[in-house]
Amino acid sequence: MKKSMKRAMAVSMAALMAASMTACGGSGNGSTGAAETGSAAAEAGSAADTAAEKKTLRVAMECAYAPYNWSQPDDSNGAAPIKDSNEYAYGYDVMMAQKISEELGYDLEIVRLDWDSLIPAIQADQVDCVIAGQSITADRLQAVDFSEPYYYASIVTLVKKGGKYENATSVADLAGATCTSQQSTIWYNTCLPQIQDANILAATASAPDMLMSLNADKCDLVVTDQPTGKGALVAYPDFKLLEFGGGDADFQVTDEEINIGISMKKGNTELKDAINGVLATMTKDDFSKMMDEAISVQPLAN
Q: What is the pLDDT of residues 158-210, one digit of tens each?
A: 999 999 999 999 999 999 999 999 999 999 999 999 999 999 999 999 999 99
In 161-267, beta strands by DSSP E: 178-180, 199-200, 221-225, 239-242, 259-264
Q: Are residues 63 and 145 in the same domain?
A: yes
Q: Report the candidate in 221, 215, 209 with the shortest Cα–Cα distance to residue 180.
A: 221
What pTM was computed for the model?
0.75
Q: Is residue 251 part of a domain?
A: no
Which of 244, 273, 288 is the last residue before a domain boundary?
Answer: 244
Q: Is residue 15 part of a domain?
A: no
Number of domains in the chain: 2
Q: pLDDT at position 1, please?
A: 41
Q: Are residues 203 and 187 in the same domain?
A: yes
Q: Are residues 264 and 145 in the same domain?
A: yes
Q: What domain range is 160 assigned to?
A: 155-244
25 vs 273, more confident: 273
Instruction: Name 176's Cβ contacts closer than 8 Å, sequence gap at least 6.
Output: 196, 197, 198, 199
Q: pLDDT at position 17, please?
A: 40
Q: Is residue 165 part of a domain?
A: yes
Virtual torsion, Cα 162, 168, 173, 176, nearest 10 deg: 30
Q: pLDDT at position 301, please?
A: 58
pLDDT at position 109 over 50: yes
Q: Is residue 138 part of a domain?
A: yes
30 vs 145, more confident: 145
Q: pLDDT at position 253, please?
A: 93
Q: Are residues 116 and 191 in the same domain?
A: no
Q: Are residues 183 and 228 in the same domain?
A: yes
Distance CA 91, CA 61 (A): 11
Q: Report the candidate in 204, 240, 258, 206 with the shortest Cα–Cα distance to residue 71.
A: 206
Q: Are residues 68 and 147 in the same domain?
A: yes
Q: Is residue 38 part of a domain?
A: no
Which of 215, 244, 273 is the last residue before a domain boundary?
Answer: 244
Q: Are residues 92 and 232 in the same domain?
A: no
SS3 280: coil
pLDDT at position 218 over 90: yes
Q: Are residues 145 and 185 in the same domain?
A: no
CATH number of the domain enclosing 195? 3.40.190.10
pLDDT at position 31 over 80: no
